[in-house]
Protein backbone atom coordinates (compact mmCIF):
# COMPACT_ATOMS: atom_id res chain seq x y z
CA UNK A 1 0.00 0.00 0.00
CA UNK A 2 2.79 2.45 0.83
CA UNK A 3 4.44 1.80 -2.54
CA UNK A 4 1.19 2.65 -4.33
CA UNK A 5 0.67 5.82 -2.29
CA UNK A 6 4.25 6.91 -2.93
CA UNK A 7 3.85 6.23 -6.66
CA UNK A 8 0.64 8.30 -6.77
CA UNK A 9 2.30 11.13 -4.83
CA UNK A 10 5.13 11.16 -7.37
CA UNK A 11 2.56 11.43 -10.18
CA UNK A 12 0.96 14.42 -8.48
CA UNK A 13 4.41 15.98 -8.07
CA UNK A 14 4.83 15.83 -11.85
CA UNK A 15 1.62 17.85 -12.10
CA UNK A 16 3.06 20.24 -9.54
CA UNK A 17 6.13 20.73 -11.72
CA UNK A 18 3.90 21.65 -14.65
CA UNK A 19 2.05 24.15 -12.49
CA UNK A 20 5.29 25.78 -11.37
CA UNK A 21 6.38 26.16 -14.99
CA UNK A 22 3.08 27.94 -15.70
CA UNK A 23 3.62 30.24 -12.71
CA UNK A 24 7.15 31.06 -13.87
CA UNK A 25 6.48 31.60 -17.58
CA UNK A 26 3.04 33.19 -17.54
CA UNK A 27 2.07 34.69 -19.99
CA UNK A 28 -0.58 36.61 -18.05
CA UNK A 29 -1.53 37.21 -14.44
CA UNK A 30 -4.55 34.95 -14.67
CA UNK A 31 -2.40 32.12 -16.07
CA UNK A 32 0.05 32.55 -13.22
CA UNK A 33 -2.76 32.51 -10.65
CA UNK A 34 -4.23 29.38 -12.22
CA UNK A 35 -0.82 27.73 -11.97
CA UNK A 36 -0.54 28.79 -8.34
CA UNK A 37 -3.96 27.30 -7.63
CA UNK A 38 -2.91 24.03 -9.29
CA UNK A 39 0.30 24.05 -7.25
CA UNK A 40 -1.70 24.47 -4.03
CA UNK A 41 -4.14 21.74 -5.00
CA UNK A 42 -1.28 19.42 -5.91
CA UNK A 43 0.37 20.14 -2.58
CA UNK A 44 -2.83 19.26 -0.75
CA UNK A 45 -3.14 16.05 -2.77
CA UNK A 46 0.45 15.02 -2.00
CA UNK A 47 -0.04 15.67 1.70
CA UNK A 48 -3.27 13.68 1.73
CA UNK A 49 -1.62 10.77 -0.08
CA UNK A 50 1.30 10.74 2.32
CA UNK A 51 -0.82 11.11 5.47
CA UNK A 52 -1.16 7.34 6.11
CA UNK A 53 2.62 6.97 5.76
CA UNK A 54 3.86 10.06 7.61
CA UNK A 55 1.11 10.48 10.19
CA UNK A 56 -2.43 11.72 10.25
CA UNK A 57 -1.44 15.18 11.51
CA UNK A 58 -0.38 15.82 7.92
CA UNK A 59 -4.07 16.24 7.10
CA UNK A 60 -4.12 19.36 9.29
CA UNK A 61 -1.31 20.84 7.22
CA UNK A 62 -3.22 19.92 4.04
CA UNK A 63 -6.33 21.70 5.31
CA UNK A 64 -4.35 24.84 6.13
CA UNK A 65 -2.72 24.77 2.69
CA UNK A 66 -6.16 24.49 1.07
CA UNK A 67 -7.35 27.47 3.10
CA UNK A 68 -4.34 29.52 2.00
CA UNK A 69 -5.08 28.62 -1.62
CA UNK A 70 -8.64 29.89 -1.31
CA UNK A 71 -7.47 33.09 0.36
CA UNK A 72 -4.90 33.63 -2.39
CA UNK A 73 -7.63 33.37 -5.03
CA UNK A 74 -9.76 35.92 -3.19
CA UNK A 75 -6.76 38.24 -2.85
CA UNK A 76 -6.03 37.89 -6.56
CA UNK A 77 -9.57 38.83 -7.52
CA UNK A 78 -9.55 41.81 -5.15
CA UNK A 79 -6.19 43.01 -6.49
CA UNK A 80 -7.41 42.62 -10.05
CA UNK A 81 -10.53 44.65 -9.30
CA UNK A 82 -8.38 47.38 -7.68
CA UNK A 83 -6.47 47.74 -10.98
CA UNK A 84 -9.56 49.01 -12.75
CA UNK A 85 -11.27 45.73 -13.48
CA UNK A 86 -14.10 46.79 -11.22
CA UNK A 87 -16.22 44.84 -8.82
CA UNK A 88 -19.66 44.18 -10.30
CA UNK A 89 -21.25 44.24 -6.85
CA UNK A 90 -20.03 47.79 -6.18
CA UNK A 91 -20.98 49.46 -9.46
CA UNK A 92 -23.23 52.53 -9.21
CA UNK A 93 -24.91 51.99 -12.59
CA UNK A 94 -28.49 50.93 -13.12
CA UNK A 95 -29.11 47.22 -12.80
CA UNK A 96 -29.84 45.30 -15.96
CA UNK A 97 -33.61 44.76 -16.17
CA UNK A 98 -34.86 41.21 -16.20
CA UNK A 99 -37.19 39.94 -18.93
CA UNK A 100 -40.33 40.42 -16.82
CA UNK A 101 -39.33 43.82 -15.37
CA UNK A 102 -39.86 45.96 -18.47
CA UNK A 103 -41.90 49.13 -18.12
CA UNK A 104 -43.25 49.76 -21.62
Please say whether the dihedral angle defined by the alpha carbons of residues 77, 79, 83 and 84, taken in this order, is positive or negative: positive
Domain count of the chain? 1
- Domain-embedded: residue 32: yes
- Residue 37 falls inside a structural domain: yes
- The boundaries of the domain holding residue 24 are 2-82
Asked, for residue 95, whether it belongs to a domain, the answer is no
pLDDT value at residue 59:
93
Can you give the pLDDT at residue 65?
92
Asked if residue 19 is part of any domain, the answer here is: yes
Q: With a threshold of 0.75, does the pTM exceed it?
A: no
| pLDDT values of the chain reduced to their tens digit, one per residue, 104 residues | 788 888 888 888 888 888 888 888 878 888 888 888 988 899 899 999 889 988 889 999 999 999 999 998 888 888 887 665 555 555 555 555 656 555 55
CB 31 within 8 A of CB 3: no
Domain-located, residue 102: no
Q: What is the pLDDT of residue 98?
A: 58
Asked if omega into 27 is within 30° of 0 (cis), the reply is yes
Residue 91 is assigned to a structural domain of this protein = no
Q: What is the pLDDT of residue 99?
A: 60
Question: Does a structural domain hold residue 93?
Answer: no
Looking at the domain assignment, is residue 16 inside a domain? Answer: yes
Amino acid sequence: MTVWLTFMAMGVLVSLAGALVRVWRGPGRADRMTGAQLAGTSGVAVLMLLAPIEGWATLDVAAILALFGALAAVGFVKALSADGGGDPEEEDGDPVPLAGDRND
